[in-house]
Amino acid sequence: MAKQSTRTAWTVVLTLDGDGKLHRQVERALRAAIRSGRVSTGTVLPPSRELAAQLGCSRWAVTQAYSQLVTEGYLATRVGSGTWVSWTGRTTWPARTTPAPDVPTYRFDLAPGAPDLRAFPRTRWAEAARAAARTVPTADLGYPQERGYPPLRELVADYLQRSRGAVATASDVMIRSGVSAGVAHLCAGLRALGIDRIAVEDPGWTRLRAVIESTGLRVEPVPVDRDGIDVEEVARRSGLRAVLVTAAHQFPTGVVLAPRRRLELINWARRVGGVILEDDYDAEFRYDRSPVGTLQGMAPEHVVLLGSVSKTLSPAIGIGWFVAQGRWRGLLERVSGPGPSTLDQATFAELLGSGAYDRHLRAMQRRYKRRRDHVLTAVRRELPTWTIGGAAAGLHLTLTYPAGVDASLLVAAARESGTRIVPLAEYRLRAAGDGIVLGYGNIADSDVDPAIRSLAAAFAAVHEVSAPSRSARPAAG
């Protein structure tokens, strides 16, 4: 019989009823724990000597109880593998892997925001974690420093200077658990300074808007066009002193903030004594031209740069940073808050310092470019009347469908066929948008063609339903 799990119950809380011989009491207590689900199927039980010590009885009493329960089919055993729970009868505990009934599952998930989780460098991360555990000084195993693990801050500053054109030293870097945590920290600092509102791009990342609003700041949407955020509109907002932008790769449109507008935005910040929060979104993944440098490198005294490993490694790592100088750094140093685990920071520092992170990024750039090209080919073949945007970088693109198609019907039709898509309108605060934001970061290469065919079938069904209403014309009077 094969062992079903590697869960180990080194401590099992059992209550002996005091009725009869000890081995019978242990037997009854274990049987009851198994039948109730308190000790679940596949769990490895403690060695007999360990359990005997916990219960204060002889080892013989435990081995006898184990033997009887093996005979009854509650337990299984093998030399060298221990004793584990093999009973699979009815349990009152819910199965751990059963999804909630109201959480939809999809065959093809084309929502944006996720990297290729299959490509996470498990071996390199494990090697870096082992190295970090061996080398982290004992003094650093206490509570994490609020500004972050010093060696990581040094390495992040160096990385941002050489790869993103930032102006940074270790003292300018603060490590947070991601961009959202960094934005929350920054907004708390802005409120302490008396700033109560911030301009954001429209359309823009919904999650960051929610984070900002949760801090008490008021969000003011500013439209985005082919050159990025409308800086003239920002300047028209009287009393405004803060703005959040994705300058290198705007989410979700994919446009780059034009050179002229970069200068205008920096001049605005200097004129009003304001601050630009620069979310360096997807900046590492640009396929058709060299990466665009940061705004922060042009005006470090007025720009706070934010970044994370959520798209380059995995959101599960929970490591991000921001870079602040001058008055903004002084302000933010007064706002405290928890950061990531020191050991996780030390592990990422090992990846950065060894060059493994750079090698991983280069491999992922090639991987995503191939997939991007595959997606573009499939869309042009299956959806020739749609317009493609934002394909030069990142892990998503925008698709605009012909006028007259109901976005809610398209989303519903795609969902019926097992495909998840997100309408562009979901990221807008004001104007609606006739399109979807298609994420391809986490879809398997083998699923690209069937996923786009599924989307095309959904579009055909909706388009056919919409055709009569579009073709109807009022009768001539």
Question: What are the residue boundaries of the structural domains of the chain, listed by start?
Answer: 1-98, 120-354, 359-471
Can you give the pLDDT of all 477 residues of the chain as single tens digits?
Answer: 344 445 555 566 777 877 888 888 988 888 888 887 778 888 888 888 888 888 888 888 888 888 888 877 888 877 666 788 887 765 444 444 444 445 567 899 999 989 999 999 999 999 999 999 999 999 999 888 888 999 999 999 999 999 999 999 999 999 988 888 888 888 888 888 889 999 999 999 988 999 999 888 999 999 999 999 999 999 999 999 999 999 999 999 999 999 999 999 999 999 999 999 999 988 888 887 777 889 999 999 999 999 999 999 999 999 999 999 988 887 766 656 668 999 999 999 999 999 999 999 999 999 999 999 999 999 999 999 999 999 888 999 999 999 888 888 999 999 998 999 999 999 988 766 679 999 999 999 999 999 999 999 999 998 766 555 444 444 443
pLDDT of residue 467: 55
* Eight-state DSSP code of residue 447: G
Cβ contact 200:209 at 8 Å: yes
Strand partners, 83: 77
Architecture of domain 1-98: Orthogonal Bundle (1.10)
**The pLDDT of residue 10:** 58
Helix (H, G, I), strand (E, B) or coil at 353: helix
For residue 79, what pLDDT is reported? 60
Q: Which CATH architecture describes the domain 359-471?
A: Alpha-Beta Complex (3.90)
How many CA atoms does the CB half-sphere of 313 hold within 13 Å?
Answer: 24
**Structure confidence at residue 276 (pLDDT):** 96
CATH architecture designation of domain 120-354? 3-Layer(aba) Sandwich (3.40)
Give the pLDDT score at 75.
Answer: 86
Closest C-alpha among 436, 415, 414, 439 to residue 424: 436
pLDDT of residue 7: 59
Q: Return left, alpha or beta for 118; rule: phi > 0 is left, psi -120 to 50 is alpha, else beta.
A: alpha
User: Distance between CA atoms of 425 and 344, rounded to whole angstroms?
Assistant: 37
Does residue 245 come out as left (phi exceeding 0), alpha (psi in the -120 to 50 range) or beta? beta
